Structure 1
Amino acid sequence: MVTNLFIKRKEVSITVVDSIMGSGKTSWAIQYINESPMATKFIFITPYLTEIERIIEHTKKSFVQPEQNGKRNKLDSLKQAIANGENIVSTHALFKKCDSELIQLIEAENYVLILDEVLDTIDEIVMTKDDIKILLNSTDDNGNPIISIGTKGEVKWNTSEYDSGNYQTIRNLANAGNLVLFDESKMYWLFPTEIFKAFSEVFILTYMFEGQIQCYYYRLFNMKFTCQSVGYDTKLGYYLTEYKGRIGEDRQRFKSLINIYYSSPSDNRDINKVGEKHNAFSKSYLNDNLKNKYYKDMIKKNSYNFYRHKMNCSTKYVIWTTFKDHQKVLTPRGLKKRFVPINARATNEYAAATTCIYLANRYMNPMIKRFFHSHDIKVNEELFALSELLQWLFRSAIRNDEPIDVYIPSERMRILLEMYLNNEI
């Protein structure tokens, strides 16, 4: 059976637990699992192995983690655990490999999904425009088109005679119903919505869902969701409460803890000046400007100057980031081992860091943005950038209510953070 993204199936209850970092989302999930009836089965999906250990250690139900065992890979192990009706904890990476067989197993076993942080629900397929053109114009021996395109861009593979070759990956994705064409120039893999519909109930633990791609993905497929926040009571423990957005958040506490760096009149030069242009430190801007040795060296010197001289901070208390493609060339002196990926989420590994260097300016992939716009899905790019920045900053000591010093040379990103702390966004 081929499971297709575009087939309508049952509605499922999706609750987005949209609550500020440190409010206890995972603690609520653990309590919810522990207080659930014995017969209720859970699949808990998280980005990091450390959180897997936390779930196994703190839940009263017995959880298993899919493992590779001999010839059986992790996906097969996951399927076997579902067939056995076990409670399962695993990673985003494995969950994204789901296929129609996995979806059928989940639906048959009546599981509850708890998704810790949003998934990458849309990825660009690495394929040139010329290759796409060739594929669109290709026919089989009978003159029938190899692929056809549906009204929403869904790619259908029409021939069963193609066994192997350059388009094998495209064939597999199309046959799984996970592939769309946009503008006759880009192909995208989309996470199958059917997997969400296979669960009896879905909870997503995140913050600022309105700015995240999974939100727009849900809207694209008309998948309804409700937002709630986490509350805490000394008697009840953690509970879900009405979502009030920024009105219900204690941002003043964060404002007192986050010290954004600005140069003073006594400084020899302003190390923020390099980021004054609106697109400074964006991926494309860095691609162009890092060819200039002076520019590259200046950013590295500014970063070193900030943590070593301005903050007088030991390297073990520093974290820094930029886009993966620019990590090697922008690594500040002494910080080779202190890089934290720009998309880091849901980890406490760096909670001792008191000094943060953010060498990036986040924009949504322009083609993905156009893809959503072509389907009348409006995206909030400023909220997207802010949510990404906040997720990264909250890997630091602020998780433990400790103050942090932050160097963000991108003026756009710095202003977004200022507006957030002042409750203006």
Structure 2
Amino acid sequence: MSSINVIDSIMGSGKTQYAIQYMNEATELERFIYITPFLDEVQRIKDSVQDRTFKEPDNRNNEGTKLRSLKDLIAKGEDIASTHALFRTADDEVIDLLTEAGYTLILDEVMTCVEPINVRPSDIRKLERAGDIEITDNRVIWKGDPNDDSRYLDIRLTAQAGNLFYYRGKFLVWSFPPDVFKAFDKVYVMTYLFDGQIQKYYFDMHGFNFDLYSVKHDGEKYRLLEYDKTSENRKELYGLIDVYQGKLNDIGKRKNALGVRFLQKADIEYLAQVKKNLYNYFQNIAKAKREEVYYSTLKEIEKTIQPKGYKEPRRKKGEDKKPPQVVIPHNARATNLYGEKRAMAYIFNRYMNQEIKVFFQDNGVKVSDDVYAVGELLQWIYRSRIRNGEPVELYLPSSRMRQLLQDWSEYKL
């Protein structure tokens, strides 16, 4: 079993810097695979690690796939930097190659280890009646044509890999193969509030043991210390966030207000009020320009609630790239694109996906919606200029989310 180390340290404490320092100081005998959410972070690792040449998988091979390139690089014993998206496609061949290769995995931010598959229950029953699938102890086993390339191709491939599960007669769930983590000599996971992360519950479900650490800079170098949340200066960070308190919060009084189903069922009048509130907050309270703000909500209503003057900027003629977004994903993390933004609005009440929650509960794993929610919120807030120690303004109309943020600041979570 791999040695798993979780660096659970607050944003900006130096997790990535520690990883770079560790790789720079490692002997030539140690090999690394560094996995990060974004391509620009891949380049950062390639530029920052001095005495190693990190290779990035590409599609210049006979199969024309990055997965083939990843396998070839592992076989050659190269140091590798790549993205979560590619790492999620790891299969049995990757596991076999890693098992004897002696790699250390550094995972920048938790990855999506469990995900619902969007398939109608009627299609699942149809496949079962046709004998194409068999469901044993919730695991979906493919029994049909091993080369089936119909509209059920994704189901076939996932089931053949042994990573597809069926729960409560309603939904399919994909789960990352745990043997991938077992194939590494050492694993480092760098994140914050790991206790509320889906990957933590995934580790619990598969019986992985892990050690928790914080990272600190002692004036000379970054060091790992035994995890201690009381050393995080939460009150100081919370003091940089001017959380709006006033009538604009009336739209979020109910505990379930602004959750997924609530927003999906919201009528035109309610959404129009949300739009007015957003404009009022940014224009009159925060007195912020478009380039100084970002906000998030349920993707289905993003365009409906966009207020005048704060819509997405378009790339101007002659510009190399589009200006930073105004509307960003509500689960945004690990990006520096919004580091100049000073005013934010989180029009959402975060809960774990119900199907994922059921998946863990049916496997005997206890989950915490509250720690999960505040962890996601803090990662989102930290995309702003607060990462540079500068104050920010926040419109957080959900009464539940405001309370969770305050509870976090008082070490109650």
Normalising by the smaller structure, the TM-score range is: over 0.9
Please tell me whether residue 243 in structure 1 is matched to residue 245 in structure 2. Answer: no
- Give TM-score scaled by structure 2 length: 0.93
Gaps of 5+ in 2: 313-324
Please tell me whether residue 90 in structure 1 is matched to residue 98 in structure 2. Answer: no
Aligned partners of 2:115, 2:15: CA distance in 1, in Å? 27
Deviates more, 1:415-424 or 1:67-76: 67-76
Shift of 1:160: 4.6
Choose the corresponding residue for 1:158, options 132, 143, 158.
143
Q: Look up the SS of the partner of 2:112 in the other structure.
A: coil
Counterpart in the other structure of 2:91: 99
- Paired residues for 1:61-100 under 5 Å: 61-69=52-60, 72-100=64-92
Choose the corresponding residue for 1:410, options 371, 392, 398.
398
The answer on whether the counterparts of 1:42 and 1:113 sit within 8 Å (CA) in structure 2 is yes
Q: Look up the SS of the partner of 1:330 in the other structure.
A: coil
Shift of 1:323: 2.2
Please tell me whether residue 308 in structure 1 is matched to residue 262 in structure 2. Answer: no
- After superposition, give the CA deviation of every residue in 1:69-98 in whole Å (9 maximum; x if it has no partner): 275221122122212211111111111111
Residues 50, 168 of structure 1: alpha-carbon distance in 2 compared, 3 angstrom cutoff: closer
Q: Look up the SS of the partner of 2:311 in the other structure.
A: coil
Q: Look up the SS of the partner of 2:304 in the other structure.
A: helix
The answer on whether the counterparts of 2:340 and 2:384 sit within 8 Å (CA) in structure 1 is yes
- Give TM-score scaled by structure 1 length: 0.90
Choose the corresponding residue for 1:255, options 218, 224, 238.
238
Counterpart in the other structure of 1:217: 202
Choose the corresponding residue for 1:20, options 2, 6, 10.
10
Shift of 1:162: 5.9
The answer on whether the counterparts of 1:133 and 1:184 sit within 8 Å (CA) in structure 2 is no
Q: Look up the SS of the partner of 1:177 in the other structure.
A: coil
Instruction: Report the residue type matching 1:242 in the other structure.
Output: E
Please tell me whether residue 117 in structure 1 is matched to residue 109 in structure 2. Answer: yes
Please tell me whether residue 275 in structure 1 is matched to residue 260 in structure 2. Answer: no
Counterpart in the other structure of 2:134: 148
Choose the corresponding residue for 1:372, options 333, 338, 360.
360
Q: Look up the SS of the partner of 1:332 in the other structure.
A: coil
Please tell me whether residue 287 in structure 1 is matched to residue 264 in structure 2. Answer: yes
Q: Look up the SS of the partner of 1:26 in the other structure.
A: helix
Deviates more, 1:320-329 or 1:80-89: 320-329
Please tell me whether residue 193 in structure 1 is matched to residue 193 in structure 2. Answer: no
Shift of 1:314: 1.5
Counterpart in the other structure of 1:143: none
Instruction: Report the residue type matching 1:304 in the other structure.
Output: Y
Gaps of 5+ in 1: 1-10, 140-145, 264-269
Shift of 1:147: 2.7
Shift of 1:424: 2.4
Choose the corresponding residue for 2:122, options 127, 130, 133.
130
Shift of 1:422: 2.4
Aligned partners of 1:172, 1:73: CA distance in 2, in Å? 16
Q: Look up the SS of the partner of 1:89 in the other structure.
A: strand
Q: Look up the SS of the partner of 1:192 in the other structure.
A: coil
Q: Look up the SS of the partner of 1:356 in the other structure.
A: strand
Choose the corresponding residue for 1:326, options 278, 284, 301.
301
Aligned partners of 1:161, 1:75: CA distance in 2, in Å? 21
Please tell me whether residue 335 in structure 1 is matched to residue 335 in structure 2. Answer: no
The answer on whether the counterparts of 1:132 and 1:184 sit within 8 Å (CA) in structure 2 is no
Instruction: Report the residue type matching 1:408 in the other structure.
Output: L
Aligned partners of 1:163, 1:386: CA distance in 2, in Å? 43
Aligned partners of 1:97, 1:403: CA distance in 2, in Å? 40
Shift of 1:161: 5.8
Choose the corresponding residue for 1:299, options 254, 260, 274.
274
Please tell me whether residue 359 in structure 1 is matched to residue 347 in structure 2. Answer: yes
Instruction: Report the residue type matching 2:311 in the other structure.
Output: L
Please tell me whether residue 396 in structure 1 is matched to residue 387 in structure 2. Answer: no
Please tell me whether residue 59 in structure 1 is matched to residue 49 in structure 2. Answer: yes
Instruction: Report the residue type matching 1:82 in the other structure.
Output: I
Q: Look up the SS of the partner of 2:386 in the other structure.
A: helix
Aligned partners of 1:191, 1:70: CA distance in 2, in Å? 25
Aligned partners of 1:302, 1:367: CA distance in 2, in Å? 32
Aligned partners of 2:34, 2:286: CA distance in 1, in Å? 40
The answer on whether the counterparts of 1:361 and 1:410 sit within 8 Å (CA) in structure 2 is yes
Q: Look up the SS of the partner of 2:130 in the other structure.
A: coil
Counterpart in the other structure of 2:319: none
Aligned partners of 1:327, 1:221: CA distance in 2, in Å? 37
The answer on whether the counterparts of 2:386 and 2:392 sit within 8 Å (CA) in structure 1 is yes
Aligned partners of 2:339, 2:20: CA distance in 1, in Å? 21
Instruction: Report the residue type matching 2:101 in the other structure.
Output: E
Aligned partners of 2:295, 2:130: CA distance in 1, in Å? 47
The answer on whether the counterparts of 2:61 and 2:68 sit within 8 Å (CA) in structure 1 is no
Aligned partners of 1:318, 1:288: CA distance in 2, in Å? 27
The answer on whether the counterparts of 1:321 and 1:358 sit within 8 Å (CA) in structure 2 is yes
The answer on whether the counterparts of 1:179 and 1:188 sit within 8 Å (CA) in structure 2 is yes
Counterpart in the other structure of 2:317: none
Aligned partners of 1:40, 1:150: CA distance in 2, in Å? 41
Shift of 1:130: 1.3
Report the count of equivalent residues.
398
Q: Look up the SS of the partner of 1:272 in the other structure.
A: helix
Aligned partners of 1:389, 1:244: CA distance in 2, in Å? 21
Q: Look up the SS of the partner of 1:173 in the other structure.
A: helix
Shift of 1:363: 0.7
Residues 161, 219 of structure 1: alpha-carbon distance in 2 compared, 3 angstrom cutoff: closer
